[in-house]
Amino acid sequence: MREAFAAYGPSLEENPPVAVGHRVVHGGSRFVDPVLVTAEVEAEIEALSVLAPLHNPANLAGIRSAEAAFPALPHVAVFDTAFHQTLAPAAYTYAIDAEVARDHQVRRYGFHGTSHKFVSEEAARFLGRDTAELRQIVFHLGNGASVTAVRGGRSVETSMGLTPLEGLVMGTRSGDIDPAALFHLARTAGMTVDELDVLLNRRSGLLGLSGRSDMRDILSGVEEADAAAVLAFDVYIHRLRAYAGSYLALLGGVDVISFTAGSARTPRACAPRRWRPWASPGCGSMPPATRRGAAASDASPRTTPRSTCSSCPRTRSWRSPGRRSPSPSPERAHRVQIPDAGGLPFRRPTALRWTGGAMTSRPDVTTLPQRGLPCLKTSLISAPWEACSSTSTAC
């Protein structure tokens, strides 16, 4: 490990470390805060590997390798599950035999907690709002994907469950599936428990549907009109929207929708045409673009949104087929209705997307399109945030 630092940097001589932090995926109900790594902690992480077989063994190997390289430094483990320890019993309890669930620790734990916590706090900071006053939906869309409903800075619902297998469609994982499908495969295909585990964790999701697990490859397949890639993308987006609608109802409205991780960096994966109902132009209006702290302009909003983004190849207008955009009225200002979510109104939603990497400068401009759901995004390293309407197919 020290050789790798020497070869690729940063220099340990110029930047001597004072501690080593480790991300661990599954902490069960035992770990609710960061902890100093001890032999006992390592043993518990190993015991929890049965609940996260793709992750905890690798996490533990990293801890032990780092301990060998930096034996004099304190090592701290941070757990993906910790942020979701605020879930209420109604949210984390599965409706199975209570004694069986208790004896075998079967409950919803949730994952990607470090990401969901950071993104929800960063979204609030960017908007100049207190996390305590915001209802947020955070999408972590990497090869592993999850979504969390955050109210007042606390996780109140999340898509992953006992293991990181439940929930959204992922790169190689199935996400939600009828449990009886496994009984059916065991009886008719003669598949063992281990074979079913491999099927759902390593041979399903986007890979199982299309033979491609990377969203960039999926989108290339969509452009090539590959039927399997088109279906995989449609299934992926359908699941995202289904969860978003569910969490919208659970929160009673939403103030911020955020996207992060690898697939959120992929052009058109943040706001493809299938997300248009989130910003139906005939259902309300947004105030003109403003800088943080500046008063909104008195200019009348347009009746047709224009989608502009420095990374989009063009600026275009879009009107919902078969409907006319009504003239906005004062009582409809700041409200957007989502037809695909039962027409539930909510106030001034904002969608954020950043591409990961280091953020060395704080975003200083908030731009809100006059109509529609904005998608704010930045380049890989510390570029100013930019806005584009999510009605753009190229954004």
Tokens of 74: 């304190």
| Mean pLDDT calculated for residue range 166-177 | 97
For residue 1, the model assigns a pLDDT of: 85
For residue 258, the model assigns a pLDDT of: 92
**pLDDT of 102 above 90:** yes
Render pLDDT for 330-382 as a digit per residue (tens, 0 to 9). 332 222 222 333 333 333 344 444 434 333 333 332 332 323 333 333 222 22
Q: Where are the alpha helices (DSSP H) in 224-347?
A: 227-251, 262-265
CA–CA separation, 173 and 154 (whole Å): 27
| Mean pLDDT calculated for residue range 219-246 | 95
Active site members: 80
**pLDDT of 262 above 70:** yes
Domain with residues 2-79, CATH architecture: 2-Layer Sandwich (3.30)
Catalogue the E-assigned strands of 117-271.
135-141, 145-151, 154-158, 256-260
For residue 30, the model assigns a pLDDT of: 86
Are 312 and 274 in contact by the 8 Å Cβ rule? The answer is: no
| Mean pLDDT calculated for residue range 29-54 | 90
For residue 267, the model assigns a pLDDT of: 54
Domain boundaries, the chain: 2-79, 113-288+305-318+331-389
Percent of the chain scoring above 70 in pLDDT: 67
Are 258 and 353 in contact by the 8 Å Cβ rule? The answer is: yes
| Mean pLDDT calculated for residue range 238-247 | 95
Q: Report the chain's mean pLDDT, rounded to a whole number.
A: 74
Beta strand 386-389 with 316-317 is: unpaired
**pLDDT of 168 above 80:** yes
Cut 0.85: pTM above it: no
Judge if 2-79 and 113-288+305-318+331-389 fold alike in CATH terms: yes
pLDDT bracket for residue 120 (50, 70, 90): very high
Percent of the chain scoring above 90 in pLDDT: 57
CATH topology of domain 113-288+305-318+331-389: Nucleotidyltransferase; domain 5 (3.30.420)
For residue 192, the model assigns a pLDDT of: 98
pLDDT bracket for residue 304 (50, 70, 90): very low
Beta strand 145-151 with 154-158 is: antiparallel
